[in-house]
Structure 1
Amino acid sequence: MPEVPGNVVGGTAAPRRPVRRRYAAVPAVVVVLVLAAAPLFLAPFATTTLTRLLVFGLLAVSLDLLVGVTGLPSLGHAAYFGAGAYAAGWVSLHVTPAIPVPLLVGALVGGVAAAATGWVAVRSAGVFFLMLTLAIGEILAQVAQNWDSVTGGANGLAGIPAARLGGEPLLNAGFLYWYVLVVGLLLFAVVWVLARSPFGAALRGIRDNEPRMRAIGYPTTVYKYAAFVAAGTVAGAAGSLLAAQQRLVTPADLGFTTAALALLAVVIGGAGSLWGPVIGAALVVLVRDALGPSLAGHGELLLGVVFVLVVYLLPRGAAGLAGLRPFRRRNP
């Protein structure tokens, strides 16, 4: 009688977890370890650039919750990013720069701003939603431009003190980088869990077929509004990290250019994957900040070429090239 394999019980093969799924977290762990060790081997300027990349990557992840998961492409998402940055900078200047006060205030203001404007925005769709969010972003940018007593006007909010942890200012580029990395990973995990939850599944259903979701009883407007506020809250937290890293906030940080670059990062990286927009953000920051000066100011032109190539050659963006897929329902 042949020997029964160890994974067979009563003649029936016991289900085994696929090897690919079992080791799916290994690349993520390796990336996190490399990022954590980066300041030990990089010069201060490179560490600062990497910090800026993490901040912009978190903004792109928050936007992907709207674009890739919910199907709401926004051109005004930087408004909540900038609102959080201004709030965190103002609190650091006039109240305290002690962690986590500016972070919490930035997230709160970003969420409140999204809540105040989102209820109108989510009642539209498609091009109308895109243009409405663009108008909201431009209105908030003009408010920042003209409210001199609070925002500093066109000169921006300057002189923001360094973030303090345990009473000590984070003046070292490496220490500030680790602070941004820890907060960024925590917020990324929050968005990841949200996207994988039943709430996230409902958002993807709305993205794929909103009339059907409405027909089976889902209050789609409420779901979209909740996603809008959640994305604005995470963007506001990312803005507080920008204020801590840059120690200067200007109207450009909540204007059209920043919003367009964030949307570009999502498209290049691959909407719906969450990891992909981080890759897209890295490409955008590196081209803009590292290659741009050496290209005689033509970094935006290079980004435009990359965008066209991605649209035509990589329909799922860099995430598709790396084998990262948008969230989908797993078979049991």
Structure 2
Amino acid sequence: MSAAVESTVADTPVSADRPDGRRRPPPLLRALPAVLALVLLAAAPFFLAPFATTVLGRVLVFALFAVSLDLLVGVTGLPSLGHAAYFGVGAYTAGLVSVHVTSEGVVPVLAAGLAGAVAAAATGWLAVRSSGVFFLMLTLAIGEIVFQLATTLDSVTGGSNGLYGIPAVRLGGTPLTLAGYVYWFVLAVTVAGFACLWLVSRSPVGGVLRGIRDNEPRMRSLGYSPFRYKYVAFVIAGAFAGVAGGLFAAQVRLVTPSEAGFTTGALALLAVVLGGAGSLWGPVLGAAVVVLVRDALGPTLDGHGPLVLGIVFVLAVYLLPRGFAGLAGVSGALRRRRAARGGAT
């Protein structure tokens, strides 16, 4: 039955019209904001100081981490509190590969993504069999286990002191020591990772994941296996969380157990909620708010950055229940209402 449904969906022509009857803009015009944002990000080191460039790089790293979590929370409907476990696994893996093997190019980052995927595959087969509060608590337990392992395995992770002395990323044998070069490396990998997650979200697999999120019994009756699809989403999200962790290790060159701790996972979930779950681009804005308040404004707030983040979260819940991404939906609804009024007159 599922094959017949997929065939029917594939054969259905997609209308180029909006619900209000207007024509959709061409693909190139719709992609223009993303292209402009990418150009501005690429040009940022020419206009920003080294510290500001480094902070912007941290925004990109945390944005990729938040978007990988959004694949679970917003697309699949699996809210996780332990996603930082795979971020930490990726960070430690990239650091160890850089120290003991090579720091050339994307090798440590790819190793970090593979480690994140393996860790997610090893733990996800149990986690995705649950749902709701049980899933939330299982992922929290997984995160705490990884955090404790990172703290106690001194010979591997450096314990509470962290893994330090990570060499700089090398391209063609040349170490990237300037903040701008490291930033461009982070930007390139982040854009590639975001593109991959966007393609997954827009693919038939992403459509099935949204169907499972909205009505799992119906998708099961159509012949889909919710466990199989949720498990695949869990592994993919873990892999890109590992990539984000690898980028973190490449930029900061120090990995501590806190990277795999509850606070990191909670901040990523906060970024997803602030940006708007399910939109993918919304968590990027949410991550920017979290990192800017924590890293850029934190030192000027006498350590009250977490308090400010809490206030921002409360205001967002009341004023933006769908996050920043919901603003686009509100503006679209207003345009459709004005068009409907114009048609009525």
- For the pair 1:237 / 2:243, whether they are aligned, the reply is yes
Bigger helix fraction:
2
Q: Superposition RMSD on alpha carbons, in Å?
A: 1.5
- For the pair 1:254 / 2:257, whether they are aligned, the reply is no
Identity of paired residues, percent?
A: 69
Q: Could you tell me which residue of structure 1 aligns to residue 111 of structure 2? A: 105
Superimposed CA distance per residue, residues 132-186 of structure 1 (whole angstroms, 9 cap, x where no aligned partner): 1000000000000000111000000000000100100010100010010011001
Partner-residue secondary structure (3-state), 1:25: helix
- For the pair 1:20 / 2:21, whether they are aligned, the reply is no
Q: Could you tell me which residue of structure 2 aligns to residue 211 of structure 1? A: 217
Q: Distance in 1 between matches of 2:172 and 2:105?
A: 8
- For the pair 1:316 / 2:328, whether they are aligned, the reply is no
Q: Could you tell me which residue of structure 1 aligns to residue 159 of structure 2? A: 153
Asked if the contact 2:16/2:23 (under 8 Å) is kept, the reply is no
Q: Could you tell me which residue of structure 2 aligns to residue 139 of structure 1? A: 145
Please list, as runs of the form range in 1=range in 2, the aligned pairs for 1:161-240 lying within 5 A after superposition: 161-240=167-246
Alignment equivalent of 1:121, drawn from 120, 127, 142: 127
Please list, as runs of the form range in 1=range in 2, the aligned pairs for 1:36-55 lying within 5 A after superposition: 36-55=42-61
Q: Distance in 2 between matches of 1:205 and 1:315?
A: 22
Q: Distance in 2 between matches of 1:63 and 1:232?
A: 8
Alignment equivalent of 2:283, drawn from 277, 294, 297: 277
Superimposed CA distance per residue, residues 200-253 of structure 1 (whole angstroms, 9 cap, x where no aligned partner): 000000000111111111100010000000000000011100000000000000
* Pair 323,166 (structure 1): closer, same or farther in 2 beyond 3 Å: farther
Q: Could you tell me which residue of structure 2 aligns to residue 82 of structure 1? A: 88
Q: Distance in 2 between matches of 1:269 and 1:302?
A: 17
Q: Could you tell me which residue of structure 1 aligns to residue 8 of structure 2? A: none
Please give the TM-score of this superposition, normalised by the length of structure 2. 0.88
Q: Could you tell me which residue of structure 2 aligns to residue 30 of structure 1? A: 36
Q: Could you tell me which residue of structure 1 aligns to residue 310 of structure 2? A: 304
Q: Distance in 2 between matches of 1:78 and 1:234?
A: 11
Q: Distance in 1 between matches of 2:31 and 2:16?
A: 20
Asked if the contact 1:269/1:276 (under 8 Å) is kept, the reply is yes
Partner-residue secondary structure (3-state), 1:273: coil
- The one-letter code sitting in structure 1 at the alignment partner of 2:106 is P
Q: Distance in 1 between matches of 2:208 and 2:143?
A: 27
Measured after TM superposition, the shift of residue 100 of structure 1 is: 1.7
- For the pair 1:291 / 2:259, whether they are aligned, the reply is no
- The one-letter code sitting in structure 1 at the alignment partner of 2:32 is V
Q: Distance in 2 between matches of 1:218 and 1:243?
A: 39
Asked if the contact 2:16/2:24 (under 8 Å) is kept, the reply is no
Ranges in structure 2 where 5+ consecutive residues have no aligned partner: 1-14, 332-345
Measured after TM superposition, the shift of residue 293 of structure 1 is: 1.5
Measured after TM superposition, the shift of residue 109 of structure 1 is: 0.3
Measured after TM superposition, the shift of residue 324 of structure 1 is: 9.1
Measured after TM superposition, the shift of residue 18 of structure 1 is: 2.5
- Kindly tell me the number of residue pairs found equivalent between the two proteins: 312
